[in-house]
Structure 1
Amino acid sequence: MTDRVCLVTGASRGIGAASARELAGRGHRVVVNHRDSAAEADAVAQDVRAAGGHALVAQGDVTDPGEVTRLVDTVAAQWGRLDVMVHNAMTPFPVTSFAELTWEQLGSKLDQEMRAAYLLTHAVVPGMIERRYGRLVYLSTGLARRPRAGMIALGVAKAALDSFVRYVADEVAPHGVTANVVAPSTVEDTAVSGRLSDELKEQLAAATPMRRLARPEDVARTVAYFAGDDGGFTTGSWAPVNGGLIMP
């Protein structure tokens, strides 16, 4: 079935924007969430509408309980329900070694990462259970399983997210709701890759069996699989999108 209502957090650029366009291209209604990038979110929505799709721009900080409630209420008021949540919004993190990492830095990243995932999931799951249909898709990273220098805060926080999703998947499965993780390697044209040197990106591409970095569209297609009916009997999974860099 198409015409599902899909919320994509952090959808103004990168993976989130590509996911919103991909889902809309498959016939779904998309909610383009952003925190403070209205112009970019509007551009994504305009792309969707120009292609004949339906898009709603919805501002909201996914680490704020009140704003998460308002975000979900806005979707319900517009389209009556929420069938799919794609949690892509990235919270800030330091790039540093363990030796230089403070507990405040690590604790802050862990708190924001898990706060956003918890608040969003807690807000959308009751309606999905009531309707006995739902798709939860969370963006993680291969760094949760394969460490890289300087990325300890991000990798540890995403590892916590991965575990959270497995527990959620187990609990909601009897109600027709799936929960899955999409874990790309370094993705071109994203906030994370923008913090890396060109030299490092070239090294990462060379170390990948497919000899390039992931692109937002590569990740978006995997997101769309889990967001649709084709992935309806897959839950609790961790799907690498990395050109063979990590083969679990």
Structure 2
Amino acid sequence: MKPAREMFELHPLEIIYLTALIGGTSFPGLEIDLKDESGRNIRSLMDTQMRSLEVKGYLEVDFVGLAKVNEVLHRGIAIASSCKSYFCQLMHTNQLTCKVFYFVQDEVWFELEYQPESNTYKLQEIYALHELMYQVIERIPLVWELSDKDKLQKAINKEVDLETWVGKSLQAGAFITSLAEIQCITEEAQVIRELNLMIHEDQMWLLRGVEEDASQTTQSLSTVVNELCNWLQEV
């Protein structure tokens, strides 16, 4: 029988509260500025997060006020808040950008998926590297229908720089996913390597960075999958 997987749905401030509760100082990918808030307001905000987490069953507070976080959730927050680097997957269309973060420590993986419609994050454990590969590839549509095929073809045929070509392709309805490994050992996060994939119907292009020339030679599915898997294995 397949083991039940725990899924945690968290608001950004709940993640900040949990990070502070377990002794962390920051959480990658979250941009929340509380510097202008007074000490009283911050305490009120954190009390609200504690009560919300209790209602969800993610947190228990005993009669002396000691808080105990769900074991899996505690492990996920601890790994993310202490990691030296992490992966970020962005999925772009002309109307929407979705993002997923992947954190690893001692071969334990967690993914954090942003839900833009509710401004929440879904956190769950990934059991192995091969499951991470599946999660990344599963989020990439292998067939993408464009609203205006001629528009994209003109963008491809015209000799333009990579950034302009990608922008015009998005406007024509293309799908782009980017994978980046981000280093966070200093105050400013840095992208240390990146891989981009653009999909137009049954055509795919691998784009390795905006500074490089883009090849207009499409890639096969097997080539793309192998490239993604090899890229992810360089952990």
Asked if Structure 1 and Structure 2 have the same fold, meaning a TM-score greater than 0.5 normalized by the shorter chain, the answer is: no
TM norm structure 2: 0.28
Per the normalisation by structure 1, the TM-score is 0.27
- Structure ranking higher in helix proportion: 1
| Higher percent of residues as strand | 2
Higher Rg of the two aligned structures: 2
Q: Which has the higher contact order (CA 8 A, sep 6+)?
A: 1
